[in-house]
Amino acid sequence: MLRDSFRLLVILNTLLKARLDKELSAFEKPKIISLLLLISPWRLYSSKGDSGERLRKALEDLGPIFIKFGQLLSTRPDVLPTEITSSLKTLQDDLPHFSETEALALIEKELGSSIDILFEDFDLTPIAAASIAQVYSAKLKENQEPVAIKIVRPGIKKKIERDISLMKRIATFAEKRSEDARRLQMLRLVEEYEAVILAELDMRLEASNIKQTKRNFESNKLLYVPEVYLDLCTQNVLVMEMIQGIPVDRIDTFNELGVDLKLVAERGVEIFLKQVFIDNFFHADMHPGNIFIDAKNPADPAYVAVDYAIVGSLSEEEQYQIGRMLVAVIGRDFKEVASILIDSKWVNPNTRLNDLENTIRAACEPIFDQPMEKINFGEMLLFIFDSARRFDLRMQPSLMLLQKTLVNIEGMGKQLYPALDFWSIANPFLKNWISERYNPKKLTEWAKKNSLSWLEKARKLPEIADTAIEQVSRLEEYQVANETRHKELMDKLYVQGRFNGMLLIVFIICLLYTSPSPRDATLSRMPSSA
């Protein structure tokens, strides 16, 4: 308790040092905190930079857990205005590496064997060190394969749990005393962050993410996914293939090798679209530090991705609505964009369609005045979400991860090939995806797939009608005067219930027997027009 109280004082002092006392003044505070704000020596110093920059500095001073929280907030335009999220995107979490003694002891404890038995050429200097883990290079003893060994920082879980607990207390305190905090659902934000960062602590989850992505790209050579050695993976240690590739931001190197940069940029967009709409499983941390290019064949370059700690997926409804939104934005159909936001309940359902449409139009029209190659599609979505904040925009974390991924992919593509036209690749892909996924044939297949469930529901309809009748009959003792009316109602319910049940059964049986079987389809296949 004493340690928590001291940590809270450190947090408060850091916020005051960054001159965020102006922002804190909006909260109803206990007298002790008001007194601390009043007597704070930092009040003698003028604030430098805007609130976003000062918040970024405070989070960096508070350490890695708060830094990663700020990085999460940078992907939430539905929560914070653009000027703040832009500042938070520059947060850095590079840390000094922990000692080689700790690293070796942890590996041997987790894997149950000595380093000399498992590995050769173990380099004691880590090749990367971040807030959650650090990475070493070595070779497997049994086959001499080069590997990367990722190790969770010793003791980091306890620190995370302590700071998360404090964040929850602060969020609860803020929501009780500030309307803005309640609107932003600060406690829910912290809980979302908790789920993300705890997932990053489990190397087994990352190993599973790698295996799934590798399966998704088995027949597609656009993205190379490294091999993971599951027998050498534990909660705190991950052993995977050491990848070969050139960092994606080495433009000069690519030019020297004669790499087709236009093709590289376009393939990045194709990978994004495949992961989101075909696989529904996307790498959600595709920044330049995690992406490499295999340029052994300059005319046929491939992407190589590492760090699969954070992945995203969408519900079928989210997929469909995002696909529609992208097509609508490309077509400058702002009314359709507004309609999607309202129908999906991503904004207040009571929002007036015309008001939201005009707001989105005002945000997007200036962007369309630029040449097509200068338009950043991801940033346009950011503008849309930011402008919709006044309509109580609230989106699922998965959608925010998607938006962040799109910004990263498009940004890397523009860096490689400034004239990259995201629209020309995405538009035909999305239109084809929507038409294929939701054409009558696909819907029929979906109906057949779910026919047994429908039949079961149809079978239960008479029971439901009987239950309804029973419930209605109970009204008789309270409404004797309406006895005749009740009887008529019960009769109608009973008859209608059984009729609807039989009708649904007949419909599904007809569907099953009229749809062509795989054998029939083979026998009656017509040549395509292609």
The residues carrying an active-site annotation are 285
65, 66, 195 from 161: Cα distances, Å: 10, 12, 11
Three-state SS at 107: helix
The answer to whether 136 touches 123, Cβ cutoff 8 Å, is yes
Chain centre to alpha carbon of residue 152: 23
Residues present in the chain in total: 530
- Cβ neighbours around 407 below 10 Å, total: 20
Phi-psi region of 306 (alpha: psi -120 to 50; beta: other; left: phi over 0): beta
Chain centre to alpha carbon of residue 451: 33
Nearest C-alpha neighbor of 118 from the set 152, 147, 154, 150? 147
Residue type, 72: L
106, 151, 275 from 155: Cα distances, Å: 11, 12, 34
Return d(Cα 456, Cα 452) in angstroms, integer. Answer: 6
Question: Helix 377-387 to helix 397-416 angle, to the nearest 10 degrees?
Answer: 140
Burial 34-72 (b: 16+ CB within 10 A, else e): eebbeebebeeeeeeeebbbbbbbbbbbbbbbbbbbbbb
Three-state SS at 277: helix
Nearest C-alpha neighbor of 233 from the set 221, 225, 243, 241? 241
Phi, psi angle pair for 69, to nearest 5°: -65, -40
User: Tokens 């880590």, residue?
Assistant: 126
Full 3-state SS string of 429-466: HHHHHHHHHCCHHHHHHHHHHCHHHHHHHHHHHHHHHH
Nearest C-alpha neighbor of 156 from the set 189, 130, 187, 191? 130
Return d(Cα 125, Cα 74) in angstroms, integer. Answer: 32
Starting at the earlier edge strand, list the strands of the sheet with 302-305: 223-224, 302-305, 291-294, 246-247
Return d(Cα 284, Cα 297) in angstroms, integer. Answer: 27
Residue type, 64: P
